Structure formats: structure tokens, C-alpha cells
Amino acid sequence: MLAYILRRLVISIFVLFLATILVFLLVAESGDPLALLRANPKIPHRVILARENLLHLNDPLYERYWIWFSHAIHGDFGNTVAGQAVRPQLVSHLLVTLRMVILATLISIVLALAVGVYAALRQGKVADHVATVTNFLFLAAPVFVVGLLLKEFVAIPINEHLNRIVFYTNGEQSPTLSGSFFSRLPDYAAHTALPTITLILVSYSSWAIYQRASILETLDSDHVRLARSKGISPRRVLMRHVFRNALIPVTTVIALDFAAILGGALITEIVFGWQGLGIWFLNGVNGLDINITLAYLLVTATFVILFNLLADIIYAFLDPRIRYD
Amino acid sequence: MRPSRRLVGVVAAIGLAAITLAACSSNNSSSSTTSSGGSTTGSVRTGGTLTMGLDENLAGFNINTSAASEYVLQEILDQVWPQPFIVNAALKPVLNTQLITSATSGGSPQAVTYVINPKAVWQDGTPITADDFIYNWQAQSGNSTYTDIGGATYDAASSSGYNQIATVTGSNPTGGAACDPGSAADRNVGLCPNGRTVTVKYTTPFADWQSLFGNLVPAHIARTVGWNTGFAGPAQTISGSWYEIQSYTANQSVVLVRNPSYWGTPGKLDKIVFQFFSDDTQEVPALQNNEVQLINPATVNTAITQSAAQVPNTTKVTVPGLEFEHLDFNEADPYLAKLPVRQAIAYGTNRQEIISHTVGEVASGIVPLGNRMFVASQPQYVNDGSQYDTVNPSKAESLLSGLGFKKASDGYFQPNYGPQSGQDLTFTIQSTSGNSTRAQTEQLFQAQMKAIGIKINIQNYDANTFFGTNLPNGTYQIAEFAWVSTPFPSGNQSIYCSYTSSSCGQNWLHYANPAEDKLLAAGSSATSASQETTDFNQADKLLWNDMATLPLYQKPQYFAWSNKYGNVIPNASTTGVPWNANLWGLKAS
């Protein structure tokens, strides 16, 4: 197992290295980061020259790549077009994203497993139909629609009814917030509630559908029938023989989805004014900000590779038949 | 002036790219004054907090740098950095007498004398003196003699006006004290940096002198932390005005509180909070939820206005802005180089129909714009293009026929020369992609041109390509975009003076007319407001005669705020609505 993990790690690092070359070439050739400055004749030419030097825009491409890469592996992602360091921005936006997605993902997993199992065990009954319709409804609903509906028909009416703000619709915290962490906690919660609920609703539904299908498939398998015929209690059959096996495909989906969400729940961030990784990346692309784009792509590529690896490891724990030699 | 891209930022405060008008008072005359720094609409009480939604994040706090020159930052700094002149809601620059007790311009060569209020100090107690003016001039002069800390080139958003200054000197230190000799390190030896009277001498007349020294950067801080990147947060961005920055949370908010060192009438509100939004449309629910009490979204569309209309106890106002959409004709094209072709397009363009189907849906009373130098809400405005107010297809077709173009059986004219000889006369119009209003305009224009026998193709590009490549390189035929003006018209010079001159960098349309050059130059160096207005209006008339561009309409700005607050007065200039935020307050019950 350890050898497998190490081997996968080496391969992952190599893949990541190749990805940096590809990503750098694509981003570096995507346009002139100083195009807008050049279009403004009021900006003195010497200002633009200084900015070109700062971003190494006049160096050959391979030199630019090496400068960027050799710094990036030490955590230095260079400067933005505006001359600010990229690293603090990356950390700041990543923390925002983590705050939003970790809680949402954990709750989504629990909810998806519960709903999926419950619906599968009551296949064809009213509860199953209600759960399935609800799941597909949230799966089909665009994220921004869910977010806006929550604002319009949940948050604002509740706030108006209580005559105080229980749910905030924009931002990560109140601008004038002060005091200890625990005294700030209610404000954080009031800001986090809506985006978290939105992410839960759009995430759990697909996982619950997977979970239901997986449970049904496992329930119909030979080893489960054998277990039942041996007189093992239904609860024990469910927990030991059905649930564990049914988790395998769902684990893959959740791991990969989580890696993607860590890259930024862009639409949720926009709707609720959260400055996560997704919106940071979008602004970087729109502004042709090379170093922001590169830093984002490097980080998200790392997430995807890491969570792929993690999914494989969890596989092995869930299914002893899976061995990596 | 500059093309409209609120995301890119705007010309700082009182319009460094630009331009003057009422500003250029007659020789030795004082400027118009205000004692309060703003206007009022009613009584308000002291105390309280107002939160305003902003639609961009900040790239720094020194708005005078190219990197941080943003509209939203100007709205924040209106109340933080000293503003010798404030552009009021009537788009007129008025002297901030709490900072500058008098400002006079006159003499030959032109000299401007500012008398600083002897009580004026920065937040840290350092007096505001001639040294601040000296430093701000040097940093924005474009002169390589002056460098930032570490010998770095000063990153100035504009050198306009500052590069016409010969000297900035101080005199009359407070209390009759002797002049400080200055220091070589500070480059103010012999300039009396501690003087409270500042004399600015110009090498050539600069009509827009009132546009300079807005957002005065504290020299004593800048010399320590650096002009280019030193103003990263509240610690460096100290106040010399009504409010100081209490906190800044990147991408989230800026909180202003009263500046305890302010020497004049203090602001009414305890706090002014600016909260950032990623999406304009989310400002309305936040207004409804009382998370913000004032919004001025960059995008004005029916989705915003209709949802805001449902928010009770708020005032909603749509005002004509200083931004106007227009059609740009590239005269490098062999057909658009012909005046009758451009005139035919103008006669065939039903501007009122375009307005009705676009901005007319969110604001009433918008009419075709008849001037490029002044918008209709400015007193200097004259409709120089009234002959194009009514669409005239027959006139358009006769102009094309007059060139020898023949109308083919498909209804399109076919030129008798050039690359399209014997083919349908075809132009491509381009603009920024993702802008529904511009897309609608292009489609209407396409249909209108078809009616007069001109085929129009539509090809849009992302903003960076459009503004950064296509326009500057002249790789377009007809372009549709907006210019953002300031109350100062001299910024128009670089757009319409002959493209053959290196100083006319925004003349992307390959227009050239020596008579136009003379009128623009005369307006920019005029010594009276009336003369400046006359010169620029004559210049505009000539542009109509030459049909250099076709102005479409003035873009509206939208404001909505809670009725609990008084003295909120929309301001369509780049100063923004917080121009008088020192007077905002909760209405007295």
C-alpha cells in the first residue's frame, strides 16, 4: 500500500510538472497583460516599461517559465499586473473558499448518504418518490436560481418578520465586526448560512442519487442475498454488507467533486459576494493577470491530483479486495 | 476622457485625464466657493452609520497610480484625501474652502496661487503644506529626474497638466515663521516646503488647473513608504479630510470614521461603510435586507430597476451621466474615408429608436446626443447635430448614389471602386462582448443600415481585445463604445486632434483636420470659461460637419437609498455620490 502511494505520488508530481509547462504556455500566450494600460495614452511610457520589467514580459518564454516555476515551487507566485504579491491573495481567497465549502461538503455527505439509503430502502414508496423528485429538482436547478430564491423567499422575509438581520445576503462578515472570535461567531454564522445551504442543496442531490442507485445495486447482489439467507439481521446486512460496498462509487464522485469545489464555487461566490478562489480566478482571467491565473491553475491541479489519490486510498479501506501491487 | 470600463477604473477624482471648463476662471479671479464642502437637502442629526455598496475591489489606495485608478476608490477617497476642488452635483468644480481658503489663476505665464487653511493638518498632526503640492507635482510630472523610493519610476496614472508645470513653491509659513530650507533628499531645497501658500507656475497655459492636486497624497508618508506600492492600507492612507479609514478588509469592505484631527466642520455620520459586491444585481437584495442603505450599480438595466422598485422606503433616482455611447468611424477604411458615406450612415441611424429599445427602458427623457464635448446635463451643452436628430433614409441613399454607388437587386449599394467594387457595401461593427445593451444597439443599427442599402456584420470581442488591441491598432471599421468624461472638456483634445500627431493617442479613428486642431488647442489653453466653451463647441460643430463620430446617447446612472438618510445627492461625475458624504446623516425626526 505504501509503495503504491509513493509510486502514485511520484507520478502525480511528474504530471503536475508537465501541467505547469502546458498551463504556462497557454496562459502566457493568452494576451498582453498590459493591454489596457497601453490603451490609455495618459499613462507615461516609462510606467509601462517598469511594469513590463516587473512581470518579465520582455524575457524569452523559457526564461519566463523558469523564473515563474523556480519561484512557484517555493510558494512565491510573483506579482499581479497591479504589482501586488500573488501569494497572500491566494491564501486569503483559499481560506474563504475553505470556510464556505468544508462545512457544506460535510453536511452534504451526511445528507446524501441518509437520503440515498432511506430512498433505496423504501424503493417505489412515497418517501422514495418524494426524495427522488426533490433530488432531481435540486440537481436540475441552476445554482444562482437556488441562491436567489433563498435570498428572496427565505432570508429577506424572515429578516423582515423578525425586524433584524438573521441571514445576510452578501459578504463573509459584517464590516464593523469586532470582539473575540466567539463573539463574532454569530455574525459569521449569519453570513455563512445562505451560501452553505445553497451549496448543500446543489451538492447533496447528485450524491444522494448516486447513493440510492448504489445501494439498490448492492441490495440486489449475490453476497447480500446470501447474507440474508443465512439469517443475518437486516440491520447487520445493511451496515456490513450493503452500506460499505455501496460507498465505493460514491466516494469517487465525492472526492472528485470536492476537489472541483475547492477550486471555487464560482456562482455561489458571486451570488453571495464571497471572495473565494473562483471569483479571484475569474477576475484574473478577465484582467489577463498571468500570475493569478497560473497560481490558481497550479493549486487546483494539485487539489485534483491529491483527491484522486485520496479516493484510491479510501477505496482500499472500503473494499479489502482492492489491492495495489 | 477615456473609454468606459468601470472595472478598469476611472480617471482620478477631478479628472486628471481631462479637462476644464468653468474652472478656467478669468485672470486673477477667484474660484467659486463652498464653505461646507457640499450641498444639503434637509436637516440630519449627528451619529449613525451608512453602508454603501460598491461594485469593484481595490488594487491599492493611491488613486493617482495607474494600478489603482478606480472609480470606487475615488468614491472612498472623496472623504479621506484632501480635495482642493470638489465637483458638485451640477458638475461644477467648487473650491473646498475648509482646505483651501482661496485659489486664483492668472498672469502670463500662468500662475495659480493656493492659500491653504492654516489649521489644515493630516490625521497624524502633520500640517498640510506646500511640500505636499511639491511632492504630488514631482511624482506626476513624468519627469525622470524625480523617482520613487529605491529609484523606481513613479507610476502615475496621468501626467496631464502636471507636465506643464514649471515650478511649485511655497511661501508664508504659519505664524510668520521662516521658510524651511528643504532637503536635497526630499527635492524641495529652496522651495519653502513648510509654506502655507502654494504658487504653481505653468510653462504653457493649462485651462484645467482646477483638475490638478485632487487626492493630495501625504508627502511625508509617501517619501517613507513609496508612491507606487506604499499605500496598501489604512496605516499609510492617512486622512487630511473629514473621515479617516478605520479598517479595510480586502475584497469585503472599507470602514470610514470621523477624522479626529479634522479642523473644519465634522462629518455627520459616525461611520461610512463601503461594502464590495461581486455582482451588481446582488446590491438590490442587500438594499432590501438593509445590509446596505445606498447603491449605485455600474450596470443599469431593467432587472435592477424593476427589482429595486419593489423595495419600500427607498428613493430611486436615475440621472444622466457623463458617459456617452457613440459610433466610431475608422477613416482608414477606403469607404468610411468618404464623408458622404459617414453622413449617409448618420442620416440612416435612427438614434431615438436605439434609445427606446435600450436605455429608454430604464430611464425616460433620453434623447439623441448632439455634442461630444458636453453632455446634455451640462450648461455648456449645445445640440450641434440637430440635422441628424430625425432619421432621413432618402437623404442617406442620395448621398451614396452621389458617390456613384449603384443599388443592386438585393437592396444593397455596390461601390464602383476599391476592394468592394461591384459587391454589396459592407461594414463590420464591433464592440465589447457580453454587453446586452450594446448587442441590442448593434442589431438595431444593422437593421437600420439595411434599410438604406448598407450591409452590416457584427463582431464583438472581449474588453481587453477590443480596448487593448483593436481600437489602438485601428483594426476596426465601425466601433460602438462609450467615452467617460469629466466636467473638464480639454481631455477631448487627444481624441479628436489629428491622428498624425503623437499627442493624439486616443484618435483611433484616423481623423485629421488642422482647423479642428486649432480649435481644440485654443480651448485647452483658454483663459476664460466662456472662451473655452465657445472653442470646444466650435470644435464639436466641425466634428459634426466632418461626421467624425456619431454620438448616440448619454448613459444614465442609477442611485437608490434608504429614506432614513438625508443629504444624499447623486453626482454623475467621477467624484461619485459620496462627494458630499460629510453631510450625509440620519434624518432628524
Nearest residue on chain B to A149, judged by CA atoms? Answer: B285
Give the number of other Cβ atoms within 10 Å of residue A136's Cβ: 13
According to the model, what pLDDT value does residue B403 have?
96
The reply to whether A264 and A162 lie within a common domain is yes
Say how far apart CA B512 and CA B498 lie, in whole Å. Answer: 4
Q: Reduced to 3 states, what is the DSSP secondary structure of residue B109?
A: coil
What part of A 172-231 touches B (C-beta under 8 Å)?
172-173, 175-176
Contact B283, B297 (CB under 8 A): yes
Enumerate the β-bridge partners of residue B479: B328, B430
> How far is residue A137's CA from residue A149's CA, in Å, rounded to a whole number?
14
Query: Which of A47, A198, A270 is most worth mutating to test chain B (most B CB atoms within 10 A of its CB)?
Result: A47
| Interval B153-175: pLDDT, tens | 898 887 778 988 999 999 999 98
**Which whole number is the average pLDDT over A261-279?**
85
Task: Please say if the pLDDT value at position B30 is more than 60.
Answer: no
8 Å CB contact between B574 and B71: yes
On whether residue A79 sits in a domain, the answer given is: no
Alpha carbon of B350: minimum distance to chain A alpha carbons (Å):
31
Give the pLDDT score at B262.
97
Q: pLDDT tens, B363-414? A: 888 999 999 999 988 889 999 999 999 999 999 999 999 999 999 999 999 9
B14 pLDDT more than 50: no
**DSSP state for residue B210 in the 8-state scheme:** G
Q: Do B276 and A273 touch (CB under 8 A)?
A: yes
List the grid coordinates of A91: 491564501
Residue range B439-454: average pLDDT? 96
Is A41 inside any structural domain?
yes
Q: Find the mean pLDDT for residues A171-178.
A: 85
Does the CB of A31 have a partner CB in chain B at under 8 Å?
Answer: yes
pTM over 0.90: no
Q: Give A318 to chain B, closest Cα distance, Å.
A: 42
B73 pLDDT above the threshold of 50: yes
Higher pLDDT, B490 or B260: B260
- Position B252 confidence tier, pLDDT thresholds 50, 70, 90: confident
pLDDT for res A133: 95
Confidence of residue B83 (pLDDT cuts 50, 70, 90): very high
Q: Which segments within B362-425 are labelled E, that is strand?
A: 406-407, 413-414
- Chain A closest-CA separation from residue B413 CA (Å): 35
Environment class of residue A28 by beta-carbon count within 10 Å: exposed (0-12), middle (13-18) or buried (19+)? middle
| Cell numbers found for residue B32 | 467659486
Cell of B240: 487630511
H or E stretch covering B8 = none
Same-domain pairing of A235 and A168: yes
Q: H or E segment at B118?
A: none
The answer to whether A320 faces chain B, any CB pair under 8 Å, is: no
First to last CA, chain B: 43
- Give the model's pLDDT for residue A255: 83
Which of A42, A79, A94 has the most B C-beta neighbours within 10 Å, making it the best mutation to test the interface with B? A42
CA distances from B131 to B56, B62, B146, B171 (A): 32, 18, 14, 11
- The partner residues of B258 in beta bridges, in order of sequence, read B243
For B67, the closest of A83, A159, A171 (CB atoms) is A83
Is A87 an interface residue toward B (CB < 8 Å)?
no
Please give the Cα distance from B579 to A37 (Å, whole number).
Answer: 27
Interface of A with B in 246-285 (CB under 8 A): 269-275, 279, 283
Query: Residue B142 and residue A38: Cβ atoms within 8 Å?
Result: no
For cell 475608422, what's the residue? B330
Is A78 part of a structural domain of the chain? no
CATH number of domain containing A111: 1.10.3720.10
In Å, how far is B434's CA from the nearest CA of chain A?
A: 12
Contacts of B159 in chain A (CB under 8 A): 42, 44
* pLDDT (0 to 100) of residue B332: 93
Cell representation of residue B533: 466653451
Is A8 among the domain residues?
A: yes
Please say if the pLDDT value at position B6 is more than 60: no
Nearest chain B alpha carbon to A168: B291
Q: Which residue has the higher pLDDT, B22 or A324?
A: A324
Do A35 and A106 fall into the same domain?
no
pLDDT of residue A177: 81
Nearest to B385 by CA among B331, B361, B349: B349
Q: Which one of B60, B153, B471 has the shortest CB-CB distance to A50?
A: B153
Q: Reply yes or no on whether the pLDDT at B467 is more than 80.
A: no
> What ipTM did this prediction achieve?
0.73
Cα A162 to Cα A165, A171, A188, B108, distances in angstroms: 8, 21, 19, 68
B13 or B135: which leads in pLDDT: B135
Nearest to A171 among B59, B275, B505 (CB): B275
CA distance linking residue B12 with residue B156, whole number of Å: 11
Chain segment A71-80, per-residue pLDDT in tens: 998 989 988 8
Q: Does A166 touch chain B (CB under 8 A)?
A: no
**Are A164 and A285 in the same domain?**
yes
A80 within domain boundaries:
no
| Same domain, yes or no: A277 and A196 | yes
| pLDDT at residue number A282 | 86
**Is the residue at A324 inside a domain?**
no
Place of cell 445593451: B437
Q: What is the per-residue pLDDT across A205-249, written as a single tens digit (0 to 9) for each? A: 999 999 999 999 999 889 889 988 988 888 888 888 888 888 888
pLDDT at residue B51 is higher than 60: yes
Q: Is the pLDDT of residue B560 over 60?
A: yes
CA distance B96 to chain A (A): 26
Nearest 5 degrees, angle CA B354-CA B359-CA B360? 80
Quick one: A147 and A221 in the same domain?
yes
Q: Is B253 on the interface with A (CB under 8 A)?
A: yes
By three-state DSSP, how is residue B25 classified?
Answer: coil
Evaluate whether B372 touches B549 at the Cβ level (below 8 Å): yes
Per CB-CB distance under 8 Å, the chain A contacts of B67 are 81-83
Contacting residues for B563 by C-beta, under 8 A, at least 6 apart: B313, B314, B315, B587
- Across the interface, do A175 and B247 touch by the CB < 8 Å criterion? yes
Domain boundary among A72, A106, A128: A72
Confidence of residue A305 (pLDDT cuts 50, 70, 90): confident
CA distance A35 to B466: 10
- B32, pLDDT greater than 80: no
Query: Nearest C-alpha of chain A: how many angstroms from B118?
Result: 34
Whether residues A157 and A20 fall in one domain = no
Return the axis-axis angle of helices A61-72 and A290-318, rounded to nearest 10°.
Answer: 50
How far A106 CA sits from the closest chain B CA (Å)?
Answer: 26
Is the separation of the CB atoms in B239 and B128 below 8 Å? Answer: no
Residue A323: pLDDT band by 50, 70, 90 thresholds?
Answer: low
Within 8 A of B16 by CB-CB distance, chain A residues are 42
For B322-358, write each residue's pLDDT tens digit. Answer: 889 999 999 999 999 999 999 999 999 999 999 999 9
**pLDDT digit string, tens, across residues B166-208:** 999 999 999 889 999 999 999 999 999 999 999 999 998 888 8
Q: How confident is the model at residue B41 (pLDDT cuts 50, 70, 90)?
A: low
Residues of chain A found within 8 Å of residue B3, distances taken between Cβ atoms: 39
Query: Which residues does chain B have within 8 Å of residue A172's beta carbon, measured at their own beta carbons?
Result: 252
- Nearest one of B399, B415, B388 to B452, comparing CA atoms: B399
Subunit contact B153:A49, Cβ cutoff 8 A? yes
C-beta separation of B92 from B84 below 8 A: no
pLDDT digits (tens, 9 = 90+) for A5-50: 788 788 888 888 898 899 899 888 877 777 767 656 566 777 778 8
State how beta strands B426-430 and B455-458 pair.
parallel
CB-nearest to A82 from B51, B67, B283 is B67
Q: Which of A44, A72, A100 is the last residue of a domain?
A: A72
Cβ-proximal residues to B523 (8 Å cutoff; 6+ apart), any chain: B207, B489, B490, B493, B531, B532, B535, B536, B539
A282 located within any domain: yes
**Measured between beta carbons, which residues in chain B are less than 8 angstroms from residue A273?**
276-279, 282
User: Is pLDDT at B257 greater than 50 in this prediction?
Assistant: yes
As a whole number of angstroms, the distance between CA B223 and CA B148 comes to: 8
Contact A196, B72 (CB under 8 A): no
Is A226 found in the same domain as A163?
yes
Where is average pLDDT lowest: A38-47, B52-61, B427-436? A38-47
The nearest alpha carbon in chain A to B56 belongs to A283
Q: Looking at CA atoms only, how far is residue B160 from chain A in angstroms?
A: 7
Q: What are phi and psi of B186, to 5 degrees?
A: -90, 0
Contacts of A41 in chain B (CB under 8 A): 494, 505-506
Could you tell me which of B575, B480, B488 has the C-alpha nearest to residue B523?
B488
Amino acid at A274: W
Give the nearest partner residue to B66 out of A32, A37, A165, using CB atoms.
A37
Domain boundary among A72, A104, A128: A72
Distance CA(A76)–CA(B301), nearest Å, equals 42
DSSP secondary structure string for all residues of B433-457? TT-HHHHHHHHHHHHHHHHTT-EEE
Share of chain B above pLDDT 90, in %: 63
Mean pLDDT taken over chain A: 86
Residue B248, chain A, CB below 8 Å: the answer is: no
Please give the interface size between A and B, counted as residue pairs whose CB atoms are below 8 Å apart: 155
Residue B233 touches partner A, C-beta closer than 8 Å: no
CB atoms A175 and B142 under 8 Å: no
Q: How many CB atoms lie within 10 A of CB A261?
A: 23
Q: What is the mean pLDDT of residues B4-13?
A: 35
A48 part of a folded domain = yes
The alpha carbon dihedral of A155, A161, A162, A164 has a sign of: positive
Domain count, chain A: 2
Residues of B in contact with A171 (CB under 8 A): 252-253, 275-276, 291
Chain B nearest-CA residue for A40: B2
Vertex B410: Cα angle to B408 and B414 (nearest 5) = 35
Put simply, whether A94 touches B (Cβ < 8 Å) is: no
Cβ separation A82–B159 shorter than 8 A? no
Residues B474, B476: Cα–Cα separation, whole Å: 6
Residue A322: the pLDDT is 64
pLDDT band at B454 (very low <50, low <70, confident <90, very high): very high
CA distance to partner chain A, nearest, from residue B364 (Å): 28
Mark whether A31 and A162 lie in a shared domain: no
The pLDDT value recorded for residue B11 is 33
Greatest pairwise CA separation for chain B in angstroms: 87
pLDDT of residue B108: 86
Is the separation of the CB atoms in B442 and B326 below 8 Å? no
Quote helix, strand, coil % in chain A, to nearest 5.
Answer: 75, 0, 25
What distance in Å separates residue A149's CA from the closest CA in chain B? 11
Same domain as A94, residue A16: no
CA distance A105 to chain B (A): 23
Domain of A32, in residue numbers: 2-72
Overall average pLDDT of the B126-136 stretch: 98
Residues A273 and A179 in one domain: yes
Q: Quick one: average pLDDT of B223-240? A: 91
Report chain B's mean pLDDT, rounded to a whole number: 88
For B474-498, give the secondary structure using H, E and C. CCCCEEEEEEECCCCHHHHHHHHCC
CA angle B301, B304, B307 (to 5 degrees): 140
For B265, the grid coordinates are: 466642520
- Model confidence band, residue B314 (pLDDT cutoffs 50, 70, 90): very high
Judged by CB atoms closer than 8 Å, whether chains meet at A170 and B49 is answered as no
Any CB–CB contact under 8 A between A57 and chain B? no
CB contact under 8 Å between B156 and A47, yes or no, is yes
- How high is the pLDDT of residue B25? 28
B142 touching A (Cβ < 8 Å): yes
pLDDT of residue B292: 96
C-alpha torsion sign, points B327, B332, B335, B337: positive
Residues A98 and A182 in one domain: yes
The answer to whether B282 contacts A271, with C-beta atoms less than 8 Å apart, is yes
